[in-house]
Structure 1
Amino acid sequence: MGIAPKKSKFSWNEYFSDKKDGGHRHSTEEFLNKEAKEKLLHLDGGTSLLDFGCGAGELLIYYAPCYEMVVGVDFSPSMLDEARRKVAVNKYDNVCLIKADDKTVWNEVSSLFDRITTTEVLQYLTFEQIDSFIETASKYLNNDGKIVFFDIIEPRSYVLWKIGFFSKRIHYLKVLPTIFVELFDYICASLSNSPKDIIGYSHNPYKIEKIANKYGFEMEYIRSIYYEYRYHAILSRKLPL
């Protein structure tokens, strides 16, 4: 995929400004239905849901029948247009769509939620942004609510995926050169504090857990079923001793 362009010449807002696809592994209804069922299992109930980074609404339309209120948020106008189309086709009257990013979203919502979730979003946020998001999101969460981050890129598994470790056939002659290139890209990205490639940042789960603990949450770490190099982080408030 290559190293991401320098920040001075690149922004995620511009990159997603005309996108109409959330980037799921498959866009078929059968696959999205199965992926949504996995995520609904981990969301584990509640009556109100904030889906931050809802994209084109591929998963949101499967969440909607399970909640009394669903708020979908994204900063891409084209993604939101596609999400509105899907919501209209399914005639969901319990869904509200909002244009906002990780900072402005909290100015656009006024209610508390049982669940606040994201899917493939943390890869576009730095640890500082994730820290701020969790701190503020906790103030919009009901007492027994949860924050659920889906499909975070796990650094070690991502490297294995890129060198073909999860493929049916591994080309061993290509492994060492690929590892060298990946290591070089990783060092360069770390020194410049920028995403390693266009897919965004990968995040060590223990660092996410450290942030969660900082704001009074316990974190459950779960491997993603449909993406070999991703994991889910379920944040629940710590129970009193």
Structure 2
Amino acid sequence: MFGGYEKNVSKQKDFWIEFFANRRDGGHRSSSEEFISMEAKEKLFHLDGGKTLLDFGCGAGELLIYYAPGYEKLVGVDFSASMLDEASKRVRERKCGNVSLIQADDKTVWDKLESSFDRITAAGVLQYLTLKEIDSFVFNASNYLNNGGKIVLFDILDPRLYPLWKIGLFSEDADIWKILRKIGFELKVILSASLNNRPKDILGFAHNPGTIKKVANKYGFETIFVQSMYYEYKYHAIISRISEAKPQ
């Protein structure tokens, strides 16, 4: 049973690697600078200071360049070469001399880091990680976190709200017939994905806040959950250490 599950997850990972291979944008609700700026301000508020920051899954660097003025040193990480190419262009255009970029994934990044950080963040990333991978990420991140530091995980798909968003319940012009059509469309997508061995949802996995809290507690952290201001079906997890002792 577990062997089949692992094989299916592996296929989903391969799909997402291919999907992002040539992407050059981070998939924000709007690509306008005005929107990205507002989204970055919200995230900077929750990051709440620190001098050094690791942005895992930085994508094309849309948020990273807005984080840069508030930190002495930033490291952006992404597995997609095309995304990092765009991020590099943005960093050069904004003259962000305090930003460096690394190509890596959630397993390889840790061996490429040369220092620890006050803040470790990821936005819109957990949806592409299984619970086991999230557990590993939090554990590894905890060993690269300075005293008093925080792990801030942005834009996690909320399994309680995401299905309602997908069927259009939050739309301003929602009505019963549009919702029924949306439900029918989503069922077709799920069926097609199953027949073609693709992920049932292009946006990945939704994770309940309770499961994230259990992972954080396991490694001596406490967690505050905050609703996203700009994505009604997502939430943020602000993870701080209860005690300063690092897990062994």
TM-score between the two structures when normalised by the length of structure 1:
0.89
CA deviation after TM superposition for structure 1 residue 165, in Å? 1.2
Secondary structure of the structure 1 residue equivalent to 2:147:
strand
Compare 168-177 and 13-22 and name the one that shifted more.
Answer: 168-177
What residue number does 1:110 align with?
Answer: 114
Q: How does 1:1-241 map to 2 (within 5 A)?
A: 7=11, 10-175=14-179, 178-179=182-183, 195-239=199-243
Give the Cα separation in 2 of the matches to 1:76 and 1:133.
18
Q: Which runs of 5+ in 1 are unaligned?
A: none
CA deviation after TM superposition for structure 1 residue 171, in Å? 2.1
Change (3 A) 1:186 1:236: farther
What amino acid sits opposite 2:126 in the alignment? Answer: L
What amino acid sits opposite 1:84 in the alignment? Answer: S
Offset from partner CA, 1:147-180 (integer Å, 9 cap, x none): 0000000012111101111111222134357557
Give the Cα separation in 1 of the matches to 2:31 and 2:112.
30
Offset from partner CA, 1:46-74 (integer Å, 9 cap, x none): 00000000000000000011000000000
Compare 22-31 and 177-186 and name the one that shifted more.
Answer: 177-186
How many residue pairs were aligned?
235
CA deviation after TM superposition for structure 1 residue 12, in Å? 1.9
Larger relative contact order (Cα-Cα within 8 Å, sequence gap ≥ 6): 1
The runs of 4+ residues in structure 1 deviating greater than 6 Å are 183-189
Secondary structure of the structure 1 residue equivalent to 2:133:
helix
Q: Percent identity?
A: 61
Secondary structure of the structure 1 residue equivalent to 2:172:
coil
Change (3 A) 1:22 1:176: same
Secondary structure of the structure 2 residue equivalent to 1:11:
helix
Give the Cα separation in 2 of the matches to 1:91 and 1:59.
15
Secondary structure of the structure 2 residue equivalent to 1:156:
coil
- Backbone CA RMSD of aligned residues: 2.7
CA deviation after TM superposition for structure 1 residue 10, in Å? 3.8
Change (3 A) 1:9 1:116: closer
CA deviation after TM superposition for structure 1 residue 196, in Å? 3.2
CA contact (8 A) 1:195 1:201 kept: no
CA contact (8 A) 1:159 1:182 kept: no
TM-score between the two structures when normalised by the length of structure 2:
0.87
Give the Cα separation in 2 of the matches to 1:48 and 1:111.
10
Q: Which runs of 5+ in 2 are unaligned?
A: 1-7
CA deviation after TM superposition for structure 1 residue 11, in Å? 2.8
Offset from partner CA, 1:206-234 (integer Å, 9 cap, x none): 10011000011101000000001000000
Change (3 A) 1:36 1:58: same
Secondary structure of the structure 1 residue equivalent to 2:49:
coil
